[in-house]
Amino acid sequence: MGKRTAAGAVAGPPTVRETVLDNGLTVLVRELHTAPLASVWCWYKVGSKDEGPGLTGVSHWVEHMNFKGTRNIPRDQVKGLIEQFGGTWNGYTWIDQTAYIETASIDALDRMLFIEAERMDACLYDPADCESERTVIISELQGGENDPEERLDQEVTATAYKTHPYRHPTIGWLGDLQSMTRDDLYGHYRRFYIPNNATLVVVGDVDTDETLRRIDHHFGRISAGAAPPRVTTVEPPQAVERRVVLRRPGTTAYWRAVFHAPAVTDPAFLPLLFVDAILNGASGLNIWNGHGVPVPQRSARLYRALVDRGLASSVSGALLPTEHPYLYTVASTVADGQTLAAVEDVMLAELARIARDGVTEAECTKVRAQLRARFVYDGDGVTDIAHQLGFFQTIAGWRLYHDLQARLPQVTVDEVSAAAARYLRPDNRTIGWVEPAGAGGAVPAA
């Protein structure tokens, strides 16, 4: 059995055992004896930001390939190994990470660990499977291009960034997907799918010591690899407002603005999260599952200014936790009979008002309670607890998620007002329109 170097348990709830195997695999185990279930997540520090020229979309494509069978799991049995225990399985790729999940009865724990060890070290990349998946992914990309909101998000993000690879869509650009080879895919897999670039998270009705023994049995034999290269690009400050206008067939108009925003480790991240909650209602920090709990919007500033007045049918905001500085998004769907110009005038006036005049103590008190509730929703059940541990480990360390929650009472009105003034500047934003074919009204100059 390989020796382990324990980082120790965290004092107070939640109690998480953090362990590092000799091969560099980080393991996080949290016992939760509320139901006979276990959730296993395997996380890799590789996402679309880690892709070089000509390889955009490779991380997402590799994720697809890693459900196609391994040396010891025939491709037609991958799904059934978990479903026979009544469990669920899935995976996703985003800009900073790729993750795989199984949640099932505790009886399936060893099987789940076996699957993830196989996925880490024994995927096949049959050339025929690579070609068939190329068709699937290109079809997925083209379907997204037919979604006006998704296409607008893609174009606005690419315009907001000039140098940082966050500008590339996770699914990749079409030309790269058409030219990528099986060797490109397999090389990416072997470069990043190594234990010293991974975190294994187990949460549920488990015994920690026995779970660590089983993890060592399955993963301890896998050799470490050379540390993958890390992105060092720093996006230069934006100096002027940028604009994107998409004109396409349809009947609905969409408006979006993005502002360069801080990374999750920046002290300004939490105050800016308060700003978003004041503007749009608190939406939390779990990108995996919102539990169907609606965002409390009706008393938020933008809802009152746009939806209550009949200018927009919906408004939303998003500040997402990322390793490098990313984007704060504000978006709106224009109501029937209204214009993009009218929505933009009110939206920009509200953003200018909060940047100029700041926020009130009453607003901060209200959204502090909303955010506290969202943290509870974000950790509702073994699957989401395991997600949050692994997600934050890939970008900053799992303890930060709990530190952010603990810091909620300490955020001041002055900090929130300062964040609004610092980030919601005209020269820090990129605005996008989707203008339906035949819609009236002047389009602002680019």
Helix (H) or strand (E) holding 183: helix 182-192
CATH no., domain 4-219: 3.30.830.10
Residue 443 pLDDT grade (very low, low, confident, very high; cuts 50, 70, 90): very low
> Which tops the pLDDT comparison, 291 or 299?
299
Equal fold, 4-219 vs 242-436 = yes
Q: Within 13 Å, how many C-alpha atoms sit on residue 191's CB side?
A: 17
**Residue 445: per-residue pLDDT:** 37
pLDDT of 165 above 90: yes
Distance separating alpha carbons of residues 245 and 33, to the nearest angstrom = 52
**Secondary structure E strands in 205-260:** 242-248, 254-260
Q: How many residues would you count in the chain?
A: 446
**Residue 81: per-residue pLDDT:** 83
Cis check: omega of the bond before 14, within 30 degrees of 0: yes
Per residue in 236-245, pLDDT tens?
999 999 999 9
Distance separating alpha carbons of residues 305 and 342, to the nearest angstrom = 12
**Residue 275: per-residue pLDDT:** 98
**Residue 446: per-residue pLDDT:** 35
Its sign, for the CA torsion 265, 270, 271, 276, is positive
Edge-to-edge strands of the sheet including 37-44? 4-9, 17-21, 26-31, 198-204, 37-44, 98-105, 88-93
Cis check: omega of the bond before 165, within 30 degrees of 0: no
Q: Which residue is listed with tokens 């010293």?
A: 196
- Give the start-to-end residue ranges of the domains of the chain: 4-219, 242-436
pLDDT of 397 above 50: yes
**Residue 76: per-residue pLDDT:** 81
Query: 373: which 2 tokens?
Result: 């509730």
CATH entry, 242-436, from 3.30.70.2860, 3.30.830.10, 1.10.260.30, 3.30.1180.20: 3.30.830.10
Closest CA relative to residue 101, chosen from 213, 199, 31, 22: 199
Residue 288 pLDDT grade (very low, low, confident, very high; cuts 50, 70, 90): confident
For 294-331, b/e burial (b = at least 16 CB within 10 A) is ebbbeebbbbebbbeeebbeebbbbbbbbbbbbbbbbb
Per residue in 53-104, pLDDT tens?
999 999 999 999 999 999 999 988 877 888 888 899 999 999 999 999 999 9
